[in-house]
């Protein structure tokens, strides 16, 4: 049995293992992997997502068990220190020795840190590993305690530098990108596109400093600034260096492998180094005199090395490697492909620029007008995938190539058709080298009819994810060509999406579930469609949950939240958390009388637990007599609008947050929606009400209110996004009216606003277009529909206690007065608690 040792458990090292075990018979080879990092290989490309969710597990390429299952010996936290080519052995930091037949070097690269005076100060970071990010976060936390609006500089305005800039901005720091060259992304952009991008970044709050050579880093022990020239200083509290990469070739150097003049281990097109039993792949490998700092070529190299070791010598690396790239994450589209800029003798360029819209598009076309040579897209890169494919596959250009970037403006010459026009050999996912043919075939022959299924079966989209839109198109188009309709139906009883059902109910004026089922559905319904339809009725007719009780979800049916022992909780509305001492006393008295456990909720109100079904009506009767109304804590509806005390009490307050919050909570109370909605109002940017993790939030600023939407706490926290700035209360309310109504009409069932926005094509800009610019021409209608809901509000608990028929539902047995004797309570901290589940 031969032994293959892989040094480096990074993205490419992992890919080697994956491809190796897929091709080799168990038992014929032994595979040993060493990784210097403490974690198993993770997805570095999506490293920045760690800032969003702090979830390292989610980034890992495969769990540790995967290595076990595939008989791979994995040693993490173990650096290989020497290679002894004569004896074909390696030694590790813990001084163990291992024999190899083949050695694969996948040691990647490390960030290049220029020799500037002071780079060793505290607060200077690089951006490559999870540990780097953890340290940055910890440091940022520390300085935020002493500095109000900390600044962070990024040294290097390349692809990675801009990504890092966005990351520090999301960490609450003011980002400053410092670039030595006179333009951003010097390798991908020309001067004009760089200028367009600069304007756009500036408007997003990212500051750009070009043509700056950093002389030294200032500070006593920790960084406080950067000095460029004599009187040219930028004060910063943190610095992230992103000035390029250097291959980690120390192992190759010390054992005498052939190296490039500027580093990297030289390989041929079989990924062999100057020693035929040693291979190098990924960012360590110098191929065609180049280091490729992207995953796609690294993955291809891994595949070549696997085949070579297994004796399939015809597999070699392509002669030309595509370095096309698209910037991800940052909130502005930037992409370049092929030869992005070139002298006029090589071809001619077609350029479109619109600075006010931050748009720049350039394509380079061969002199004979037949081939696309490359291009740059800033501000709108939705055609990137198609253009890239045309370039890669040398597809013929349309008669008027300018249509490729301007769209056809006369109709006679269609710019490009659909993804289906690509040749079958076109590589759609370059990270995993999946072709169009493979994707379509997987849809047709293996029944993988969604992007998810395709990605599982072919691995397409699992790398950088840039090809997702195209894979999505291919799946949909292939399904269409098979005569299948792609539908998002809510369950087996209705072949419609929630939005379609909503429109049908409205159009046909259907008012009850059974008629809807008879007219547009089939069968007898289920627990998925019943509450979804109930919510639609509520949104259109504002009917309470009492009229069609048996289609309501568990909690709505009895207007209370069912708890773990089958008892219920009671939550009266306390708008914005403002409550009088008299009301507090009333709640105390009632809770005591019915022996209820009480707790303050996260939404600034009081929850009373442990009421039995038959006790609910009398409890509510007493609460209503004291002036309370239902808090609808049980509904997929408006919960609370959290507020801070604002300018009424707080010395920082810019406006009256409590008043606004009360008015808003009363405005939207009772409105049912696809999922629960929560709001927040803060009196100033200190944001004590945490309005930015609510579905809608208002924050008072100098000159008005900032309006935020689609934030989320809960399982997937997400910050709300800015919808409008410095508007008055009336406008702020109008925008949120429209946004909520639009969300209510278009979201799938049980989808919170944040998830809805994530899926909405065009994102927040599109919502702005609908809500503010009225691009769909529905603003007036949304306004009047919302006003109808506001005007027809009624407290459904009042309705329930006053109506004997509804009240009669609140008995445990229909044939006996007794109550449920299965319920058991125990006592805890002087209150009662349900007995724990066994």
Q: In whole angstroms, how close is the CB of 663 to ligand SF4 at the nearest point?
A: 17
Q: In whole angstroms, how close is the CB of 829 to ligand SF4 at the nearest point?
A: 18
* Binding partner selected for residue 492 from ligand SF4, ligand FAD, another protein, none, CB under the kind-specific 5 to 8 Å limit: another protein
Q: How do 265-266 and 285-286 pair as beta strands?
A: parallel
> Between 105 and 439, whose beta carbon lies closer to ligand FAD?
105
Q: Give the angle subtended at the CA of 136 by the CAs of 132 and 140, to the nearest 5°.
A: 175
Are 380 and 361 a contacting pair, CB within 8 Å? yes
Residue found by looking up tokens 């997987």 in the block = 442
> Between 45 and 579, whose beta carbon lies closer to ligand FAD?
45
> Between 159 and 644, whose beta carbon lies closer to ligand SF4?
644
Residues sharing a CB contact under 8 Å with residue 248, sequence separation 6 or more, in sequence order:
107, 108, 109, 110, 284
Measure the CA–CA gap between 697 and 430, rounded to whole angstroms: 41
Q: In whole angstroms, how close is the CB of 500 to another protein at the nearest point?
A: 20
Only segment of 330-338, 522-530, 722-730, 732-740 that touches another protein (CB under 8 A): 522-530
Measure the CA–CA gap between 546 and 624, rounded to whole angstroms: 17
* Binding partner selected for residue 434 from ligand FAD, ligand SF4, another protein, none, CB under the kind-specific 5 to 8 Å limit: none
* Binding partner selected for residue 813 from ligand FAD, another protein, ligand SF4, none, CB under the kind-specific 5 to 8 Å limit: another protein
Measure the CA–CA gap between 490 and 296, rounded to whole angstroms: 38
> Between 51 and 341, whose beta carbon lies closer to ligand FAD?
51
Measure the CA–CA gap between 617 and 810, rounded to whole angstroms: 7
Q: Which residues bind ligand FAD (CB under 6 A)?
A: 7-13, 34-37, 44-45, 47-48, 79-80, 106-108, 127-128, 160, 163, 248, 251, 282-283, 293-296, 298, 328, 464
Q: In whole angstroms, how close is the CB of 781 to ligand FAD at the nearest point?
A: 42
- Listed residue (289, 282, 140) closest to 223, CA to CA: 140
> Between 100 and 568, whose beta carbon lies closer to ligand SF4?
568
Q: In whole angstroms, how close is the CB of 517 to another protein at the nearest point?
A: 8
Of 682, 718, 751, 753, which one interacts with ligand SF4 (CB under 6 A)?
Answer: 682
Q: Which strand (E) or helix (H) includes residue 208?
A: strand 207-209
> Between 137 and 520, whose beta carbon lies closer to another protein?
520
Q: In whole angstroms, how close is the CB of 183 to ligand FAD at the nearest point?
A: 20
Q: Which residues pair with 98 in a beta bridge?
A: 90
Q: In whole angstroms, how close is the CB of 534 to another protein at the nearest point?
A: 10
Write the burial class of residue 619 (CB in 10 Å: 0-12 exposed, 13-18 middle, 19+ buried): buried
The token pair that represents 55 in the structure block: 């979830």
> Between 397 and 688, whose beta carbon lies closer to ligand SF4?
688
Helices (H), 34-75: 49-53, 56-59, 64-69
Other beta carbons within 10 angstroms of residue 219's beta carbon come to 19
Residues sharing a CB contact under 8 Å with residue 161, sequence separation 6 or more, in sequence order:
154, 155, 177, 179, 240, 242, 243
Site string for another protein, 490-519 (x = CB under 8 A): --xx--------------------x--x--
The radius of gyration computed from the CA coordinates of the chain, to the nearest angstrom, equals 31
Of 525, 670, 683, 749, which one interacts with another protein (CB under 8 A)?
Answer: 525
Of 549, 722, 778, 833, which one interacts with another protein (CB under 8 A)?
Answer: 549
Only segment of 32-40, 122-130, 314-322, 560-568 that touches another protein (CB under 8 A): 560-568
* Binding partner selected for residue 107 from ligand SF4, another protein, ligand FAD, none, CB under the kind-specific 5 to 8 Å limit: ligand FAD
Q: Which strand (E) or helix (H) includes residue 286?
A: strand 285-286
Residues sharing a CB contact under 8 Å with residue 651, sequence separation 6 or more, in sequence order:
none
> Between 247 and 653, whose beta carbon lies closer to ligand SF4?
653
Helices (H), 526-580: 529-541, 554-557
> Between 41 and 490, whose beta carbon lies closer to ligand FAD?
41
Are 442 and 458 a contacting pair, CB within 8 Å? yes
Residues sharing a CB contact under 8 Å with residue 715, sequence separation 6 or more, in sequence order:
none
Q: Which strand (E) or helix (H) includes residue 2?
A: strand 2-7
CA atoms within 13 A on the CB side of 459: 13
* Binding partner selected for residue 464 from another protein, ligand FAD, ligand SF4, none, CB under the kind-specific 5 to 8 Å limit: ligand FAD
Are 740 and 770 a contacting pair, CB within 8 Å? no
Handedness of CA 157, 163, 168, 172 (dihedral sign): positive
The token pair that represents 456 in the structure block: 């599982």
Q: In whole angstroms, how close is the CB of 659 to ligand SF4 at the nearest point?
A: 13
Determine the 3-state secondary structure of 717 from DSSP.
Answer: coil
How many chain residues touch ligand SF4 (CB under 6 A)?
A: 13
Task: State which of positions 799-838 bind another protein (CB under 8 A).
Answer: 809, 812-816, 818, 820-823, 837-838
* Binding partner selected for residue 653 from ligand SF4, another protein, ligand FAD, none, CB under the kind-specific 5 to 8 Å limit: ligand SF4
Only segment of 62-70, 502-510, 564-572, 640-648 that touches another protein (CB under 8 A): 564-572
CA atoms within 13 A on the CB side of 333: 17
* Binding partner selected for residue 30 from ligand SF4, another protein, ligand FAD, none, CB under the kind-specific 5 to 8 Å limit: none
- Listed residue (837, 834, 796, 722) closest to 331, CA to CA: 722
> Between 65 and 821, whose beta carbon lies closer to another protein?
821
Residue nearest to ligand SF4 (CB): 683
Measure the CA–CA gap between 469 and 274, rounded to whole angstroms: 42
How remote is the C-alpha of 413 from its chain's centroid? 37
Under the binding rule (CB under 6 A), the answer on residue 688 touching ligand SF4 is yes
Under the binding rule (CB under 6 A), the answer on residue 136 touching ligand SF4 is no
Determine the 3-state secondary structure of 637 from DSSP.
Answer: strand
Are 308 and 298 a contacting pair, CB within 8 Å? no
- Listed residue (713, 716, 711, 676) closest to 697, CA to CA: 711
Of 187, 523, 652, 802, which one interacts with ligand SF4 (CB under 6 A)?
Answer: 652
The pair phi, psi for residue 777, each rounded to 5°, is 65, 30
Q: In whole angstroms, how close is the CB of 77 to ligand FAD at the nearest point?
A: 9
Q: Which strand (E) or helix (H) includes residue 598?
A: strand 597-600
Of 157, 303, 338, 646, which one interacts with ligand SF4 (CB under 6 A)?
Answer: 646
Residue nearest to ligand FAD (CB): 10
Of 321, 549, 650, 823, which one interacts with ligand SF4 (CB under 6 A)?
Answer: 650
> Between 597 and 634, whose beta carbon lies closer to another protein?
634
The token pair that represents 309 in the structure block: 């070791």
Q: In whole angstroms, how close is the CB of 577 to ligand SF4 at the nearest point?
A: 12
Residues sharing a CB contact under 8 Å with residue 507, sequence separation 6 or more, in sequence order:
none
Determine the 3-state secondary structure of 566 from DSSP.
Answer: coil
Under the binding rule (CB under 8 A), the answer on residue 636 touching another protein is no
Of 161, 674, 683, 697, which one interacts with ligand SF4 (CB under 6 A)?
Answer: 683
Only segment of 1-9, 59-67, 613-621, 652-660 that touches ligand SF4 (CB under 6 A): 652-660
Of 172, 423, 523, 717, which one interacts with another protein (CB under 8 A)?
Answer: 523
Only segment of 132-140, 278-286, 485-493, 677-685 that touches ligand SF4 (CB under 6 A): 677-685
User: Which spans of this chain sit near ligand SF4 (rule: CB under 6 A)?
Assistant: 644-646, 650, 652-653, 657, 682-684, 686-688
User: Which spans of this chain sit near another protein (rule: CB under 8 A)?
Assistant: 492-493, 514, 517, 523-527, 529-531, 549-551, 553-554, 557-558, 562, 564-566, 809, 812-816, 818, 820-823, 837-838
């Amino acid at each position: 049995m031969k032994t293959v040792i892989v040094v480096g458990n990074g993205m490419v090292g992992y890919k080697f293992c994956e491809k190796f075990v897929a091709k080799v018979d168990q038992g014929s080879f032994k595979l040993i992997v060493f990784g210097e990092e403490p974690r198993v290989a993770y997805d570095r490309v999506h490293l920045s997502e760690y800032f969003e969710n702090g979830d390292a597990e989610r980034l890992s390429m495969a769990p540790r068990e995967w290595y076990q299952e595939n008989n791979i010996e994995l040693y993490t936290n173990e650096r290989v220190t020497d290679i002894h080519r004569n004896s074909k052995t390696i030694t590790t930091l813990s001084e163990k020795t291992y024999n190899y037949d083949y050695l694969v070097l996948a040691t990647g690269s490390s960030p290049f840190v220029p020799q500037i005076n002071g780079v060793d100060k505290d607060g200077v970071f690089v951006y490559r590993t999870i540990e780097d990010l953890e340290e940055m976060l910890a440091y940022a936390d520390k300085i935020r305690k002493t500095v109000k609006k900390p600044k962070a500089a990024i040294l290097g305005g390349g692809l990675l530098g801009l990504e890092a800039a966005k990351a520090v901005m999301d960490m609450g720091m003011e980002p400053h990108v410092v670039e030595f060259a006179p333009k951003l992304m010097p390798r991908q952009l020309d001067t004009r596109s760089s200028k367009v991008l600069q304007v756009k970044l500036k408007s997003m709050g990212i500051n750009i400093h070009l043509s700056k050579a950093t002389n030294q880093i200032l500070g006593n022990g920790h960084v406080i600034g950067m000095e460029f020239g004599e009187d040219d200083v930028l004060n910063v509290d943190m610095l992230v260096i992103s000035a390029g990469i250097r291959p980690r070739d120390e192992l190759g150097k010390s054992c005498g492998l052939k190296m490039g003049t500027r580093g990297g281990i030289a390989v041929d097109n079989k990924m062999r180094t100057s020693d035929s039993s040693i291979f190098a792949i990924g960012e360590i490998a110098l191929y065609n005199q180049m280091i490729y700092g992207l995953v796609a070529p690294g993955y291809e190299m891994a595949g070549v090395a696997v085949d070579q070791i297994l004796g399939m010598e015809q597999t070699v690396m392509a002669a030309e490697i595509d370095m096309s790239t698209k910037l991800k994450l940052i909130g502005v589209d930037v992409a370049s492909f092929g030869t992005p800029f070139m002298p006029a003798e090589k071809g001619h360029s077609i350029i479109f620029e619109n600075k006010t819209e931050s748009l720049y598009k350039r394509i380079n076309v061969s002199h004979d007008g037949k081939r696309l040579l490359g291009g740059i897209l800033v501000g709108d890169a939705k055609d990137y995938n198609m253009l890239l494919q045309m370039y890669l596959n040398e597809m013929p250009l349309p008669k008027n190539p300018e249509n490729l970037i301007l769209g056809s403006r006369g109709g006679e010459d269609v710019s490009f058709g659909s993804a289906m026009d690509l040749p079958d050999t076109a590589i759609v996912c370059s990270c995993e080298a999946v072709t169009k043919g493979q994707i379509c075939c997987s849809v047709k022959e293996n029944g993988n009819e969604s992007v998810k299924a395709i990605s599982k079966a072919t691995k397409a989209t699992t790398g950088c994810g840039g090809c997702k839109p195209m894979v999505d198109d291919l799946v949909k188009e292939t399904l269409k060509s098979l005569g299948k309709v792609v539908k998002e139906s809510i369950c087996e009883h209705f072949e419609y999406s929630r939005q379609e059902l909503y429109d049908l109910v409205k159009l046909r004026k259907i008012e009850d579930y059974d008629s809807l089922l008879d007219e547009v559905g089939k069968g007898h319904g289920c627990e998925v469609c019943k509450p979804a339809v109930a919510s639609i009725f509520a949104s259109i007719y504002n009917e309470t949950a009492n009229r069609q009780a048996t289609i309501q979800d568990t909690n709505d049916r009895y207007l209370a939240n069912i708890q773990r022992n089958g008892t219920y909780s009671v939550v009266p509305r306390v708008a914005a958390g403002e409550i009088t001492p008299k009301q507090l006393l009333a709640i105390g008295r009632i809770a005591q009388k019915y022996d209820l456990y009480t707790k303050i909720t996260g939404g600034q109100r009081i929850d009373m637990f442990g009421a039995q079904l038959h006790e609910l009506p009398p409890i509510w009767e007493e609460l209503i007599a004291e002036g309370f109304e239902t808090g609808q804590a049980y509904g997929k509806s408006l919960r609370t609008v959290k507020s801070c005390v604002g300018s009424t009490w707080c010395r920082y307050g810019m406006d009256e947050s409590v008043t606004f919050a009360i008015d808003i909570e009363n405005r939207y109370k009772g409105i049912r929606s696809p999922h629960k909605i929560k709001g927040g109002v803060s009196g100033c940017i200190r944001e004590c009400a945490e309005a930015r993790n609510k579905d809608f939030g208002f924050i008072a600023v100098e000159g008005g209110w900032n309006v935020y939407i689609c934030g989320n706490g809960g399982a997937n926290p997400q910050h709300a996004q800015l919808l409008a700035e410095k508007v008055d209360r009336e406008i702020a309310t109008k925008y949120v009216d429209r946004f909520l109504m639009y969300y209510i009409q278009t979201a799938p069932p049980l989808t919170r606003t944040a998830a809805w926005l994530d899926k909405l094509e065009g994102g927040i800009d599109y919502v702005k277009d609908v809500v503010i610019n009225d691009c769909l021409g529905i603003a007036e209608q949304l306004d009047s529909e919302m006003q109808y809901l506001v005007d027809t509000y009624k407290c459904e608990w009042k309705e329930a206690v006053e109506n004997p028929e509804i009240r009669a539902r609140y008995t445990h047995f229909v044939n006996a007065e007794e109550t449920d004797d299965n319920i058991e309570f125990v006592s805890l901290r002087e209150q009662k608690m349900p007995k724990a589940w066994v």
